[in-house]
Amino acid sequence: MTTIRDMPLDCPEATYVEPVYKEAGMRNFTNLVRTMLNDYGVYHVQFNTINKQTLIDAKAHPEWPGTVSIGRTLPSGSRTTSSTGQSTHSKHLRPGGKEGGSVEEKKAIVFDIGRFRNTDGPGIRTILFFKGCPLRCLWCSNPFGFSPVPQLAVNPVKCTGCGKCVPACPQGRNTLVPGEKIQVDFSACQGCGACVPVCPSGARMITGRAYTARELYREAAKDAAFYRKGGGGVTLSGGEVLLQWEVASETLRLCRTNYINTCIETSAFAPWAHLWQVAQYCHTVFVDLKHMDSEKHREQTGVPNELILENIQKLCQALPQWGGRVIVRLPLIPGCNDGAEDVAAAARFVGSLPNRPEINLLPYHNLGESKYGMIGETCALSGLESRKGRDPKLLALQELCQRCAPDNRVSLGGDAIALE
């Protein structure tokens, strides 16, 4: 058997193995890998398998990675060099993931694409806001993410009361009140969007548009130059991204394949299989822990917290397999969950988790309050003032968290984005 052709030791360009089967073939294969890794100092070995089905799959799905890494494990997303000298991407198969899985025809509803953000992950980020959420947090700053379907939003500041939208609505849900602006019956609005193009001031818009995973990746890739220079990337937020986990997972996979840093923000209120399928393609998962008391959690968010706590624990247990980063966020809402006992209980829980996830305290802000009226909703915490990140009470809560979880990193506000 010829194993390695004559070539410089620092450049193993190609190999040839005669077809040998069963036990002898496996021994030859193992020896070849050992020689490449140990004698030649190769850090990554790529084997291309070409058969009829492989060619069919490659033609149908050119974006799928076609290699499997064998030997020393590289960090996910690492760039290596194959035997042909071409740049490749090391692919790691993880429990719960589907090798080469594709949801090309499926679409997710996204209500906003925020560009050049410096929150929710390292560097300059593009944030994709997925629509639909099973929670109804009293303090939610993104009410556009409540409904899973596209819906009408009206900006009262821009509305001039011209009345052109009244005849445009096929359901007759717009009413012109003399001396006032247009009143909209949001409860009966079907979100058809017929009134949007006739509005001369641009006060009306449909929040939510359907995207495939590849379309979302292309949106994110528009900012790739900024990611490379500033170490940024893509964050999937919401709403709750796990409600549309298939498209989210595929979007993240495409980003990882193309060396884009990936993060998600989630409540973790979803089946574990869905969370894992998405998380395995993330560099960082930001997960909210809103209250340790399940009944109070239900009062403030509409759902109990048992599933959330269970998923957080599983996510932390999976860290060695996954190699990502978990940051447990504690939103501090005045009068809801910012008491010393509440914060200490949450910190002790996080401190008991395996693999030392980080804790990030999020001060309350009311920046999303004005959005509620735009979709006919009412903000339950209307009038509650925002808190500054260096408020003495917040600093005291940070110290309390650190005492309750001494082995975990505890950050306040935007400090959490100082990653790696």
pLDDT tens readout for residues 245-277: 999 999 999 999 999 999 999 999 999 999 999
User: Are 161 and 200 contained in the same domain?
Assistant: yes
**Mean pLDDT within 6-34:** 54
Highest mean pLDDT, choosing among 53-67, 82-96, 334-348: 334-348
Q: What is the pLDDT of residue 338?
A: 94
Q: What is the CATH number of the domain that holds 193?
A: 3.30.70.20
Summarised one tens digit per residue, pLDDT across range 286-318 is 999 999 999 999 999 999 999 999 999 999 999
Q: Say which residues have a Cβ less than 8 Å from residue 33's Cβ, sequence separation at least 6.
A: 45, 70, 71
Q: What is the pLDDT of residue 374?
A: 95
**Mean pLDDT within 323-339:** 94
Least confident of 5-9, 35-39, 203-207, 347-351: 5-9
- The boundaries of the domain holding residue 178 are 151-207
Q: What is the CATH number of the domain that holds 224?
A: 3.20.20.70
Residue 175 in any domain: the answer is yes
Confidence band for 390, pLDDT divided at 50, 70 and 90: confident
Residue 254 in any domain: the answer is yes
User: Are 296 and 386 contained in the same domain?
Assistant: yes
Residue ending a domain, among 207, 222, 247, is 207
User: Are 140 and 162 contained in the same domain?
Assistant: no
Residue 13 in any domain: the answer is no
User: Are 133 and 180 contained in the same domain?
Assistant: no
- CA gyration radius for the chain? 26
Residue ending a domain, among 207, 222, 243, is 207
DSSP secondary structure string for all residues of 268-331: --S-HHHHHHHHTT-SEEEEE---SSHHHHHHHHSS-SHHHHHHHHHHHHTHHHH--EEEEEEE
Select the more confidently predicted residue: 287 or 43: 287
How far, CA to CA in Å, does 292 sit from each of 178, 312, 357?
50, 12, 17
Confidence band for 60, pLDDT divided at 50, 70 and 90: low
Q: What is the pLDDT of residue 93?
A: 29
User: Are 112 and 191 contained in the same domain?
Assistant: no
Euclidean distance between CA atoms 183 and 204, whole angstroms: 12
Residue 99 in any domain: the answer is no
Three-class DSSP category at 250: helix
Q: What is the pLDDT of residue 85?
A: 31
Averaged pLDDT score across all residues of the chain = 81
Which helix or strand (DSSP H or E) is residue 113 part of? strand 108-117
Residue ending a domain, among 164, 190, 207, is 207
Residue 332 in any domain: the answer is yes
**Mean pLDDT within 26-41:** 64
Select the more confidently predicted residue: 72 or 419: 419
Residue 31 in any domain: the answer is no
**Mean pLDDT within 323-346:** 95
Select the more confidently predicted residue: 239 or 181: 239
Percentage of the chain lying above the pLDDT 90 cut: 61
Name which of 254, 265, 266 is nearest 224 in CA terms: 254
Three-class DSSP category at 51: coil
How many CA atoms lie less than 13 Å away from 47 in the CB half-sphere? 13
Confidence band for 231, pLDDT divided at 50, 70 and 90: confident
User: Are 244 and 392 contained in the same domain?
Assistant: yes
pTM for this prediction: 0.74
**Mean pLDDT within 358-365:** 94
Residue 127 in any domain: the answer is yes
Residue 405 in any domain: the answer is yes
**Mean pLDDT within 192-213:** 95
User: Are 259 and 401 contained in the same domain?
Assistant: yes
User: Are 138 and 203 contained in the same domain?
Assistant: no
Q: What is the pLDDT of residue 342?
A: 96
User: Are 228 and 158 contained in the same domain?
Assistant: no
User: Are 200 and 213 contained in the same domain?
Assistant: no
Total structural domains in the chain?
2
User: Are 377 and 315 contained in the same domain?
Assistant: yes
Calculate the CA 278 to chain-centre distance: 8
**Mean pLDDT within 15-23:** 49
User: Are 162 and 201 contained in the same domain?
Assistant: yes
Summarised one tens digit per residue, pLDDT across range 271-284 is 999 999 999 999 99
Three-class DSSP category at 64: coil
